[in-house]
Amino acid sequence: MESLGADLLRELRDRSGELDAGLNWPREQFAALAREGVLGRVIPEAFGGTDVSQQRLLEGYVELAAACLTTTFILTQRNGACQRIAGSANDSLKSDLLPRLTRGELFATVGISHLTTSRQHWRVPAVQVEEVVGGFRFQGEVPWVTGAPQADLIVTGGTLADGRQVLAAIPTDVAGVQVGPPAKLLALGGSQTSSVRLEQAWIESRWLLAGPVEQLMKQGVGGGTGALATSALAVGLSLAAIEHLRDEGSRRPDLVEIIAPLETECAELRSDLLSAAEASATNAPSLSPESIRGRANSLALRSTQALLAASKGAGFVNGHFAERAVREAMFFLVWSCPQPVVAAALRELAGISTCG
């Protein structure tokens, strides 16, 4: 399978620490992704992209995440927005936005957790929408929007009074769109993930991507690789941790028996991830995304903690890769994590056997 350029991966790896040092936005990293054509991988050729297969896209996420998890996480959110734009029936909007997104002239992101996993228990929808002349009026809060302070467009949605939902590409310069300050996260602070308040924001119909329709997120509007993308990030972080363990193992023979099973597990998981992507593309039976996500979460947690233990005191110092990797692994316990995966993680942490 075609690999990303070594120079690109080296640049991302060398600059990854600076993103963790503050809320630094990876501007130069995204410029490099644009130069290498990575930003066009989810955009159809008709709009200047390359539109690679789901397998190639996920393999790219694994490689990129092993180099810099923050940059790659942001990329998945940007790609999610691009995929939903590309998958819409709004041809004029696609012709306007997609070529510029391919070239990196615009930054789009996505905020749909309130329509899928976050705040679904609320009686009143997190974002309420009213259909008005010429468009829609949005009121409410989108809780988790990666890169919101940097975004030109936010792909998000809301719910009408009759239960139908809409999805739109909302320009951030529209009156009523209020981007909050970046959250102070345990890790990935450079992603500048913020909440976005919509105060009677009037969005013209030309920005509509889908709807109004019931159960919008089940309509398959440009979802792409979906849940598998987050698992790919966890596999990439695990790969990086195991590589650092190998470096430690080159000086310490006692680590060989620790590294070997982690390497085997990671290789098998990576293979299953790509097989699931292929099966999804052909509607063939496969391992469920939830089972892969559970395994990926577990491996990320264990491999990074193994690295910290092997690194001893040096790994506990702020700025060391082991210290950062342990924090980054915690991200997978909370980001777009389906409840069955959360439950499995809690049982594992509690030492409760899943057998019998």
CATH number of the domain bearing residue 149: 2.40.110.10
What's the rounded Cα separation, in Å, for the pair 72 and 93? 26
Both 244 and 308 in one domain: the answer is yes
Both 113 and 95 in one domain: the answer is no
In a domain, 16, yes or no: yes
Both 180 and 160 in one domain: the answer is yes
- Whether residue 158 contacts residue 165, with contact meaning beta carbons closer than 8 Å, is answered with yes
Q: What ranges in 206-288 are assigned the alpha helix state H?
A: 227-249, 256-282
Q: What is the pLDDT of residue 253?
A: 83
Both 59 and 135 in one domain: the answer is no
Both 345 and 231 in one domain: the answer is yes
In a domain, 46, yes or no: yes
Both 123 and 50 in one domain: the answer is no
CATH number reported for the structural domain that contains residue 46 in this entry: 1.10.540.10
Both 84 and 194 in one domain: the answer is no
**Contacts for 30 with CB less than 8 Å, ≥ 6 apart:** 39, 71, 74, 75, 104, 107
The total of structural domains in the chain comes to 3
Out of 83, 102, 121, pick the residue that ends a domain: 102
What's the rounded Cα separation, in Å, for the pair 101 and 153? 10
Both 336 and 250 in one domain: the answer is yes
Both 231 and 346 in one domain: the answer is yes
What's the rounded Cα separation, in Å, for the pair 98 and 105? 10
In a domain, 355, yes or no: no
Task: For Cα atoms 8, 321, 348, give the angle at the middle one, nearest 5 degrees.
Answer: 110
- Per-position pLDDT tens, the chain of length 356: 456 889 999 999 999 998 987 778 999 999 999 999 999 999 999 999 998 999 999 999 999 999 999 999 999 999 999 999 999 999 999 999 999 999 999 999 999 887 765 444 456 889 999 999 999 999 999 989 999 999 999 999 999 999 899 999 999 999 999 999 999 999 999 999 999 999 999 999 999 999 888 878 776 655 555 589 999 999 999 999 999 999 887 788 888 899 999 999 999 999 999 999 887 666 666 688 899 999 999 999 999 999 999 999 999 999 999 999 999 999 999 988 888 888 888 988 898 876 54
Q: What is the pLDDT of residue 1?
A: 42
Give whole-number Cα distances, 264 to 271, 273, 352, in Å. 11, 14, 24
What's the rounded Cα separation, in Å, for the pair 197 and 5? 39
- Whether residue 125 contacts residue 227, with contact meaning beta carbons closer than 8 Å, is answered with no
Out of 80, 102, 124, pick the residue that ends a domain: 102
In a domain, 118, yes or no: yes
In a domain, 35, yes or no: yes
Which parts of the chain are beta strand (E)?
A: 108-111, 127-132, 135-145, 153-159, 165-171, 177-179, 194-204, 208-213
CATH number reported for the structural domain that contains residue 294 in this entry: 1.20.140.10
Q: What is the pLDDT of residue 352?
A: 87
- Whether residue 45 contacts residue 51, with contact meaning beta carbons closer than 8 Å, is answered with yes
| Domain span including residue 40 | 6-102
What is the DSSP code (8-state) at residue 157? E
Out of 102, 132, 149, pick the residue that ends a domain: 102
Both 317 and 274 in one domain: the answer is yes
3-state secondary structure of 202: strand
Give the β-pairing of 177-179 and 208-213.
Answer: unpaired
What is the DSSP code (8-state) at residue 76? H
**Contacts for 256 with CB less than 8 Å, ≥ 6 apart:** 249
Q: What is the pLDDT of residue 160?
A: 93
Give whole-number Cα distances, 94 to 86, 88, 210, in Å. 6, 8, 13
Both 188 and 288 in one domain: the answer is no
What's the rounded Cα separation, in Å, for the pair 106 and 152? 6
Q: What is the pLDDT of residue 4?
A: 80
What is the DSSP code (8-state) at residue 108? E
In a domain, 222, yes or no: no
